[in-house]
Structure 1
Amino acid sequence: MTIFCSHCHRPLPAESGCLPRGTGQVPSASKPFRSTKGASKARRDQINAELQALRSLLPMSCREKERLSYLNTMALVCLRLRAARLFATDSAPPAGPALGTDLLSMLPGFLLVLLANGKLAYVSENVSEVLGLSTAELLSHGDTVFDMLEGTAREVVQEKLLLAQEQPGAEVTFVSKMRTSKAFRLRHGGNRAVAVRGRFVAPRAPACAAAPAAFMALCTPVAQPAQGADTASPDDLFHSRHGLDMAFADVTESVVYHLGYRREELIGRSWYSLLHPEDVQLAAAQHRAVASGTGASPAGAVVLRLLRSDRTWLWLHTALRREHGGSSISCTSRSLR
């Protein structure tokens, strides 16, 4: 049998070859070292160019675009992509509800659209009038509704969203404090309480059939008592005294202007019988904190709704205090109209 050399393809005996003895492969020149510095720079330049192209598509003024970081740019792009999926149409879709500036200025608050996991899909431009922050500034804290809230409000909002998700179409309302600009906090002494009223809505357009249900809400600022509230007009508040079970023991006559009940109608009646069902859990937590506390200092304040005699709901900012001796609880309730 003839054996051919694998190098020169000449017939050779099996025990020999044309390669130098002691080597099993053709000697080759060592590969030169290639630096990846140029390739890395090219990739960075390409990414920067893509981000600048995306930034140019955002419906913002050139001045606002110049202030955007790359992270803010990506957050805004993702926000508009989520909105485009929800509000898609057969024609070129706007990334959000088609609302004009004049219409937004007539609303008592700003519009908010969320996905089921809390991701923001749309925030109307007039959010800056309520919170003092633009959409881009809000997204710098995160892209979920929970990033807009004070830390203690996260669990309450999660519970409300789960409740709304279990009952599609059912409206839920809750009050939560949202982050505001530094200028707003310096002026008002803290973040702003906002009443969120909305429901989960399934997309109606055929093009949106594959889109998930979205939580659409109107966020209305709740009037907050000014600093030094004790010197405010007595017409804005009423005082009540309760037993430890929160049954009315006494109440000022001014309650009739706020709730429509005469003083005699409320004596002996439970405070809980007037509470909105969605506010019972929050009020009960505040009640327990006061009842189990010691001293006469307020245990805190809570924003809730009480039922008026005409079957409407009144928002109140209520501060609870356990009286000396511990046998009763006093409340100072301020109307948030």
Structure 2
Amino acid sequence: MEQRNDHPGSGGLERVSRRGFLAGAATLGVGTLGGCLASSASTVSVLSAGSLASAFEERVGSTFEEATDFGFQGTYYGSRAVMRLVEDGQRRPDVVVSADAELLRERLQPTLADWDVVFATNALVIAYNPETDIGARLADGEPWHAVLAAADGRIARTDPDLDPLGYRAIQLFDLAESYYDEPGLAGALRANTVIEPEEPQLLAAVESGERAAAVAYRNMAHDWDVPSVELPPELNFADPGLADHYATATYTTEDGTSLPGRPIRYNATVPANAEHPEAGRRFVRLLAERPAPLRESGLVVPDGVPKGHGDVPDGVLP
């Protein structure tokens, strides 16, 4: 049975003061800050993947407010939880943002949306605290998979049934077993990791030393200013040219959904039932035409991005 480092709450996070954002998530627990999205004609409401919380709160939101007549309010969950909230009608955001482009398309299109824009990419890393024994070994260059396989529950990952980072961690373990030709490695890595259900809390536990390391996105290590081990392209889900290779690793959720490994691509759309679709389209356009705040947050905007999919409205793509 998988170990879980459970906290009360739903795993969502409303906007707090921008400088206190990460500290607040770490000390309060993101579930305690959950609430309803703002309903104001002058504010865009964004329901987003939790791995973008710092990027949106620290840079993108303020850039949007300065460039338009709209305010910004973000709420953050794992991407699978985001899709469920929208599908069930519990939330009616102006913008939906996913850390897995295909997940958004499978869950929301064509019923609730008929287009999206891919605006950034990312990579998996092993973030660590160098003041722990495990972190010191990683800093010394010991193979990450050997260190984590003997870590005895001191490594964190997120819930694979809530967000793509969680199921990509499981897929990473499966790919690593084949890549390093070590039978049983995937099971050992899975058994020696603990689930942190709230994605924005993941690296708070690493920074504090509660956990020695975590499977994280590169931009999250950047957010928290913690060191990380870079993974080879065959394992980091960053190279679209290796899409077929990533797809050889799958994760089946508790509800029976089979999720293949896919390159990390963030996409955004404006749902058909958005209360303020104009504000939503303006926000997606900003994501598409202003890569600097994303890059400053540790994300990657490669050649060929932004890229539209479906019937993208006029004026959204620059």
Q: TM-score, normalising length from structure 2?
A: 0.23
- From the CA coordinates, give the structure whose radius of gyration is larger: 1
**Larger relative CO (CA 8 A, sep 6+): 1 or 2?**
2
Indicate the structure with greater helix content: 2
